Chain A
Amino acid sequence: MNKKIFLQQMSAIDEKYIEEAAGNLRTKRFAAGKLAVAACFLMVCAVLAIPFAGNLLSPQVSSENALPVVWDEGEGRFVKKDEINPNQDSFYYNEYRAAIASGDYQGYRSARVLDEGYVGEKLGSAEIDSFLFYFSSGKTEDHRYLAAEVYEIRGISPSDAVCIRYLEIGQSNTLTHYYVFCNANVTDPSWSGLWERFAFDEYLSLSDTAEMLIGDGGCVQKVRYRFSDASALREMLSHVSGAAAADINERDFSALASSAGKMLTLSAQCFSSGQYGTIQILDNGYLVTGISGSVQVFDIGAENAAWIMAWIEESGEVMYSVKYDENGLPEQESSEGLESTVAVETSVSAGRDR
């Protein structure tokens, strides 16, 4: 039994050694290299290929090997829902989705929890269709229609997004939280219009890291930056303007991305649309994002794109840089160390962290 105790006590070794061993995968690096090469050409297309970006970008996709979990109001915590028997394969995907099924906001899709401080006036009642969606089969199962109250989100038109509070317990909700439901059909003719529409000044939060893909002949260099002042970047984005490009279905995004020499990817979350996602800026002057719930492309101009990229390069601290050859293999790698330490920013405004 001592052997097992020994093995158990090993669990607490320094996380940096676990990170080191977890990251030091030859096959993984190779895959990452290939991915980086492909990313310039495919990333934008992949994002845009999904009609409702929130589904791709929001964190609601459960993974392989994960049984659903259900909120137990009595326990005040999540418990396993083991009566759902997934298919027997080791890998399956499913996701609880919800959509407003009745009333003025029918069709709005669920997103994430909103801080109570941002909840406005009550707008009415609605029925929420809560269902389990199986990615593997494309089927939906287990529909439940739950009563809910609909509320305004402060500063946001109900025609763009609302929030709801459930009156009944379903598969993945509580009775106490407010959930944002956004209209995935909303588009705006300009970036500045979208900024105002979803009150990004108030509701947009940017990660303090960014990734730059730099095309260099057949090679691709990936540089990850960390910067100290994400609010400065948000300020810059607020001053950018640009008209929306033509309908996404009519555009050849593969060509758009492949004609770019650099692509900056910012991780962002928008609390008014309830979306997590990215804001991608290409050095040929395009900004691509699904952060409002519907993917749009804006022509912000090459000068603005260069301005933002230069700010990242000048003020950002390089976390690591990897260059991949034509075959997707890493040529050289530099790093200041392991991945950045996770820290919860408790100082951000109340709507951003609860």
Chain B
Amino acid sequence: MEDREIVKLYFARSESAISATAEKYGALCYAVARNILGCDEDARECVNDAYLALWNQIPPQVPASLRAFAAGIVRKISLDRLDYNTASCRCANTAEILDEISEILPDESAEIPQGDTLTEILNRFLASEKKRDRVVFVRRYWFCDSVREVAARTGMSESGVRSLLFRIRKRLSAYLKKEGYFE
């Protein structure tokens, strides 16, 4: 079923909207949650929370891309959930990603401005990147794919992906400073 038809179901308040979303994007949503949380049980719960969030948000919202919208909600819920996870359930992949992000930030105490500023800067930064680099960056830090998964998806070697991610992080760090994001 096409996205617009699914969105129509949400507007019609038909419960089929949720099952149609689950059918089409359930696997993607689960993968995003699983990547972040590293725990099947939590991932399932987050995905179901996301379906309820979709139900409550559409309408009034009309997502331009249901896939990105649904995955974005799952991502947010999963990140929120991260704090509550036990250490045993903590995903090594996410810990690795957080470590990598620390390379972008000047230091742990740096003030992160609230609001849309970072999003706007990231959008400009991504626009300036080559498509391949952009995809690798988004797969790693938005979808939270493991390096192995990114390599498999892009046809690169794992070391190639690590190296490329390192260079992108350097560029992003410089870009954020240039844009005056950090005080």
Contact = CB atoms under 8 A, between A and B. Distances in A.
Nearest to A277: B1
Given A2-B112, A113-B13, A339-B65, A26 B154 contact: yes
A336 to B, nearest CB: 16
Contacts of B9: 59, 112
A188 interface: no
Contacts, number: 220
Given A9-B118, A78-B18, 5 more contacts: A11-B142, A63-B26, A65-B44, A352-B8, A354-B11
B55 A9 contact: no
A10 B116 CA distance: 10
A77 B138 contact: no
Given A69-B18, A95-B19, A207-B4, A177 B104 contact: no
Contacts of A2: 105, 108-110, 112
Interface in A1-49: 2-22, 24-27
Given A19-B65, A342-B66, A9 B98 contact: no
Interface stretch (B70-78, B85-93, B160-168): B70-78
B157 to A, nearest CB: 14
Contact of B134 (A4, A15, A20): A20
A228 interface: no
A353 B55 contact: no
Given A3-B102, A24-B153, A66 B51 contact: yes
Contacts of B27: 63-65
Contacts of A207: 2, 4-5
Contact of A4 (B8, B62, B98): B98
A172 interface: yes
**How many interface residues does chain A have, given as a range?**
35 or more
B148 to A, nearest CB: 13
Contacts of A8: 76, 79-80
B101 A65 contact: no
A90 interface: yes
Contact of A65 (B18, B26, B119, B154): B26
B13 A354 contact: yes
Contacts of A112: 9, 12, 14, 16
A273 interface: no
A15 B119 contact: no
Interface in B116-154: 116, 118-119, 122-123, 126, 131, 134-135, 138-139, 141-143, 152-154
Nearest to B23: A63
Interface of B: 1-9, 11-20, 22-24, 26-30, 40, 43-44, 47-49, 51-52, 55-56, 62-69, 71-72, 75-76, 79-80, 82, 97-99, 101-102, 104-105, 108-110, 112, 116, 118-119, 122-123, 126, 131, 134-135, 138-139, 141-143, 152-155
A167 interface: no
A290 to B, nearest CB: 14
B19 A18 contact: no
A113 B47 contact: no
A4 B135 contact: no
A304 interface: no
A221 B79 CA distance: 41
B171 to A, nearest CB: 16
B156 to A, nearest CB: 10
Nearest to B129: A17
A209 interface: yes
Interface of A: 2-22, 24-27, 58-67, 69, 71, 77-80, 90, 95, 112-113, 115, 172-174, 177, 207, 209, 267, 269, 276, 338-339, 341-345, 352-354
B7 A344 contact: yes
Nearest to A94: B19
Contacts of A269: 5
A353 B134 contact: no
A342 B4 contact: yes
26 contacts: A2-B108, A2-B110, A3-B101, A6-B104, A9-B118, A10-B142, A13-B119, A17-B126, A17-B138, A19-B68, A20-B135, A22-B143, A58-B16, A59-B5, A59-B20, A66-B18, A66-B26, A78-B15, A78-B18, A113-B13, A209-B2, A341-B64, A342-B64, A344-B4, A353-B12, A354-B12
Contacts of B143: 21-22
Contacts of A354: 11-13
Contact of A276 (B5, B142, B155): B5
A267 B82 contact: no
Contact of A267 (B1, B23, B110, B153): B1
B141 A113 contact: no
Contact of B118 (A4, A10, A18, A26): A10
Contact of A59 (B19, B40, B62): B19
Contacts of A26: 152-155
Contacts of B48: 66-67, 69, 80
